[in-house]
Amino acid sequence: MAIRPILHYPDKRLRDPGRPVEVFDDELQTLIDDMAETMYAAPGVGLAATQLGVPLRLFIVDVAVDEDAASDLRVFINPDLVELIGTTSFSEGCLSFPGAREDINRAERVRVKALDRHGQPFEMLADGLMAIAVQHENDHLDGKLMIDRLSILRRRLLHRAMIKHGGGD
Ligand code: NI
């Protein structure tokens, strides 16, 4: 396992959409293990492969990171958000926006279908932090970032803060 560098906004590679995972080989398992190590080291609640410059439809979430509980790693491959229920607002962070917290509107619950790390399909009705994380990470797979969900004013402020922070290349 290895910690890999996380791309920071405004790195253009964060805009590359992921393509579906088709091969569940050792290379994929190594990528997932590296993603987990990278996420826990940060630390963060979720990480998408696209944040490591790997354009695949794959993300991981461990909401226990936020609760200081025993780890509970969930792997989502080729996810499909099949149902969005209700609305909520949550102060989100992102490992590609170091130090930033922004209130973002999302669905309160989400039904997601995905494959696990071995290619087995599963379905989950996520709520609470898991629902937020699934939607946030799924955005990454489409090259969409939390800054895109802000008002024009907040977007400008965050952009400026990130440039000053020295994000990107
Ligand atoms: Ni993020």
pLDDT digits (tens, 9 = 90+) for 90-149: 999 999 999 999 999 999 999 999 999 999 999 999 999 999 999 999 999 999 999 999
Q: Is the pLDDT of residue 45 over 50?
A: yes
Q: Is the pLDDT of residue 56 over 80?
A: yes
The pLDDT value recorded for residue 169 is 47
Bin 119: left if φ > 0, else alpha if -120 < ψ < 50, else beta: left
The pLDDT value recorded for residue 1 is 80
Q: Is the pLDDT of residue 32 over 50?
A: yes
Task: Give 50 Cα–ligand 1 centroid separation in angstroms.
Answer: 10
Peptide bond into 98 cis (omega under 30): no
Task: Give 154 Cα–ligand 1 centroid separation in angstroms.
Answer: 17
Per cent of the chain over pLDDT 70 is 98
What architecture does CATH give domain 12-164?
Answer: Alpha-Beta Complex (3.90)
Q: How confident is the model at residue 70 (pLDDT cuts 50, 70, 90)?
A: confident
Q: What does residue 58 show for φ and ψ, rounded to 5 degrees?
A: -155, 130
Q: Please give the angle made by the CA atoms of 19, 74 and 61, to the nearest 5 degrees.
A: 75
Torsion of CA 5, 9, 12, 13, to 10 degrees: 30
Which residues make Cβ contacts (< 8 Å) with residue 120, sequence separation at least 6? none
Task: Give 92 Cα–ligand 1 centroid separation in angstroms.
Answer: 9
Q: Is residue 37 annotated as a catalytic residue, yes or no?
A: no
Q: Is the pLDDT of residue 66 over 80?
A: no
Q: Are 119 and 75 in contact (CB under 8 A)?
A: no
The pLDDT value recorded for residue 166 is 65
What is the rounded distance in angstroms from the CA atom of residue 61 to the CA atom of residue 71? 10
Q: Is the pLDDT of residue 75 over 70?
A: yes
Given 27, 92, 102, 137, the catalytic residue: 137
What is the rounded distance in angstroms from the CA atom of residue 89 to the CA atom of residue 67? 19
Task: Give 145 Cα–ligand 1 centroid separation in angstroms.
Answer: 7
Q: How confident is the model at residue 168 (pLDDT cuts 50, 70, 90)?
A: very low
Q: Is the pLDDT of residue 64 over 80?
A: yes
